[in-house]
């Protein structure tokens, strides 16, 4: 049984009453407490967040009370609008990360925000125990966008990856009759940080110290079709890859890589699973990055931009012959496919339907790429760019990616370092050509100061 003090605390929350010292000491019965008048919830009774803190104060609060699983730049963002964010002191920054592509359409885009507002006034969660009037419409239009006929709704990108793995294994058991199915993955991958996913990661920070690891995965060099084929045997049910490795520094594979995997999977009757959580939904200038080389996978793993930075929305998208292996009770999510997420996701799908965002990413990507390549030999050793996504390798003699990122922050630009000397750029698709030119000018000046 809970102690009296815990019961009193629960009663305090339940009734909205501030208990007296006598009540807190348990001297009065719970019945007398419950008989007291319940105070209305008003602005004065709500707990308000701390106000008036500086950036240093907010950072100190996080350091004290949030697990240290991230190492963010020392900027505290209060508001966002389009491609720009503003910190608590009122300084503005061009956001060139867009929450790892989750904010593809900019901060506060009116279409998904309005969709969320409208649905907030109706119903936000019913669970999958019942139907909603949002999920079916969202599913129909998302699958049409992808050229598929079924989807499995989830919330986060890592959930979509885990779900894709489960579907592939179930397909292997049920369709191919394999008792111990295996999946081939690529070295340098980033699919999330759940136990199964870090089990096939070669990122020491994500993997070390989290064993024992989930078996059933074989890792081979990225971009090497022959290595994938050599790793396959009769137990192999799928190949899981990112069409472009974002966390690796926007690593673009050879043009024949995905077509080669498609051919291999067709010949060996395996599933090709493309993790498009960062690369998909307009970022690269196409709805899906695999489209650039004419490849359609068996399963798309989607997330991030599917929720427009408003709510977490993810999905596994495929055809009935694969996703149809799932039966009631075999997989689920209380929040997956909730009406709020479905309404926002539907708004995103409709934004992408006419291809205008994809064309914008292509056109502006040309501006970004051309300007960045002009810095090669002037503090930059290599640039990889596709659409509005770029990996820029900084000359290690000048500094680390973190140091360059921090210097850009001081100039009003937010980027993210990765892999030591690389910085990633993924500005929202609402960014302008002038803003992109200014971005590269600032990088040029930072590199000049470091030389």
Kindly report, residue by residue over 45-82, the tens digit of the pLDDT: 344 455 679 999 999 999 999 999 999 999 999 999 99
* Catalytic residue check, 304: yes
* Catalytic residue check, 138: no
DSSP state of 387: S
Task: Answer yes or no: do 373 and 283 share one domain.
Answer: no
Task: Answer yes or no: do 283 and 361 share one domain.
Answer: no
Q: Range of 253's domain?
A: 157-302
Q: Is residue 118, in this structure, part of any structural domain at all?
A: no
Residue at a domain's end among 285, 302, 319: 302
Spatial distance between the Cα atoms of 219 and 64, rounded to a whole number of angstroms: 38
The mean of the pLDDT values for the chain is 91
Residue at a domain's end among 270, 302, 334: 302
Mean pLDDT across 11-15: 37
pLDDT of 14 reads: 37
pLDDT of 50 reads: 57
Mean pLDDT across 281-303: 98
Task: Answer yes or no: do 368 and 289 share one domain.
Answer: no
Name the active-site residue from 87, 148, 170, 275: 275
Q: What percent of the chain has pLDDT over 90?
A: 88
Mean pLDDT across 344-370: 98
Residue at a domain's end among 271, 302, 333: 302
Name residues whose C-beta falls within 8 Å of residue 19's C-beta, 6 or more positions apart in sequence: 8, 11, 12, 33
Name the active-site residue from 105, 138, 190, 288: 190
Q: For residue range 185-232, what is the model confidence (pLDDT) as tens digits?
A: 999 999 999 999 999 999 999 999 999 999 999 999 999 999 999 999
Q: Is residue 264, in this structure, part of any structural domain at all?
A: yes
Q: For residue range 84-127, what is the model confidence (pLDDT) as tens digits?
A: 999 999 999 999 999 999 999 999 999 999 999 999 999 999 99
- The vertex-422 CA angle with 420 and 423, nearest 5°, equals 125
Task: Answer yes or no: do 294 and 211 share one domain.
Answer: yes
Q: What percent of the chain has pLDDT over 70?
A: 89
Task: Answer yes or no: do 171 and 285 share one domain.
Answer: yes
Q: Using the predicted structure, report yes or no on whether residue 376 has a pLDDT greater than 50.
A: yes
Q: Is residue 77, in this structure, part of any structural domain at all?
A: no
Provide the whole-model pTM.
Answer: 0.89
Mean pLDDT across 157-167: 98
Q: Using the predicted structure, report yes or no on whether residue 1 has a pLDDT greater than 50.
A: no
DSSP state of 254: P
Task: Answer yes or no: do 283 and 398 share one domain.
Answer: no
Per the CB < 8 A criterion, the answer to whether 243 and 279 are in contact is yes
Per the CB < 8 A criterion, the answer to whether 273 and 239 are in contact is yes
Task: Answer yes or no: do 166 and 255 share one domain.
Answer: yes
Name the active-site residue from 148, 170, 304, 416: 304
Structure tokens at 290: 């695999």
pLDDT of 52 reads: 79
Task: Answer yes or no: do 363 and 442 share one domain.
Answer: yes
Half-sphere CA count of 200, side-chain side, radius 13 A: 26
Total count of domains within the chain? 3
Mean pLDDT across 425-447: 98
Spatial distance between the Cα atoms of 402 and 416, rounded to a whole number of angstroms: 7
């Amino acid at each position: 049984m809970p102690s009296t003090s815990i019961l009193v605390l629960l009663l305090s929350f339940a009734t909205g009453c501030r208990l007296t010292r006598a009540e807190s000491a348990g001297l009065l019965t719970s019945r007398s407490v419950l008989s007291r008048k319940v105070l209305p919830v008003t602005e004065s009774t709500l707990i308000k967040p701390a106000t008036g803190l500086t950036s240093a104060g907010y950072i100190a609060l996080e350091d004290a009370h949030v697990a240290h699983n991230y190492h963010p730049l020392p900027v505290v963002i209060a508001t966002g609008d389009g491609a720009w964010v503003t910190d608590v002191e009122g300084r503005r920054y061009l956001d060139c990360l867009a929450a790892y592509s989750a904010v593809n359409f900019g901060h506060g885009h009116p279409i998904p925000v309005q969709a969320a507002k409208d649905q907030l006034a109706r119903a936000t969660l019913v669970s999958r125990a019942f139907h909603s009037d949002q999920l079916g419409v969202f599913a129909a239009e998302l699958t049409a966008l992808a050229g598929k006929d079924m989807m499995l709704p989830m919330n986060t990108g890592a959930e979509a990856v885990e779900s894709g793995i489960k579907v592939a294994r179930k397909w292997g058991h049920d369709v191919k009759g394999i008792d111990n199915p295996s999946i081939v993955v690529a070295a340098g991958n980033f699919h999330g940080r759940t136990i199964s996913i870090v089990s096939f990661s070669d990122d020491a920070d994500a993997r070390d110290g989290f064993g024992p690891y989930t078996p059933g995965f074989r890792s081979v060099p990225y971009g090497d079709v022959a290595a994938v084929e050599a790793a396959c045997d009769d137990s192999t049910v799928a190949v899981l890859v990112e069409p472009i490795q974002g966390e690796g520094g926007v690593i673009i594979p050879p043009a024949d890589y995905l077509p080669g995997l498609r051919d291999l999977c067709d010949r060996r009757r395996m599933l090709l699973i493309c993790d498009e959580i960062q690369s998909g939904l307009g970022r690269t200038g196409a709805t899906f990055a695999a489209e650039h080389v004419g490849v359609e996978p068996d399963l798309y793993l989607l997330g991030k931009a599917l929720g427009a930075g408003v709510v977490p929305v993810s999905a596994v998208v495929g055809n009935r012959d694969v996703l149809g292996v799932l039966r009631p009770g075999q997989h689920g999510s209380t929040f997956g496919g909730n009406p709020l997420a479905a309404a926002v996701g539907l708004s995103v799908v409709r934004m992408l339907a006419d291809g205008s965002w994809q064309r914008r990413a292509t056109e502006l990507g040309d501006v970004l790429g051309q300007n960045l390549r002009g810095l090669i030999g002037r503090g930059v050793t290599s640039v990889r760019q596709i659409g509005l996504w770029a990996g820029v390798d900084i000359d290690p003699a000048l500094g680390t990616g973190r140091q360059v990122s921090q210097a850009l922050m001081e100039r009003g630009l937010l980027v993210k370092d990765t892999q030591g000397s690389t910085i990633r750029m993924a500005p929202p698709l609402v960014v302008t050509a002038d803003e992109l030119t200014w971005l590269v000018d600032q990088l040029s000046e930072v590199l000049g100061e470091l030389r």
